[in-house]
Amino acid sequence: MSHDAEAPRASSPDRPETPLAPLDGLDDLPTDQHVARFETVHDRLRALLDDRTTTDEAGD
Q: How far is CA 26 from the centre of its chain?
A: 13
- Model pTM greater than 0.85? no
Residue 21 has pLDDT above 90, yes or no: yes
Average pLDDT for the chain: 80
Using CA atoms, how far apart are residues 9 and 16, in angstroms rounded to an integer? 9
Q: How far is CA 9 from the centre of its chain?
A: 10
Mean predicted confidence (pLDDT) in 31-37: 97
∠ CA 48-53-58, rounded to 5°: 125
Find out whether 22 and 41 touch, Cβ atoms under 8 Å. yes
Q: Provide the pLDDT confidence category of residue 39 given band limits of 50, 70 and 90.
A: very high
pLDDT over 70, % of the chain: 72
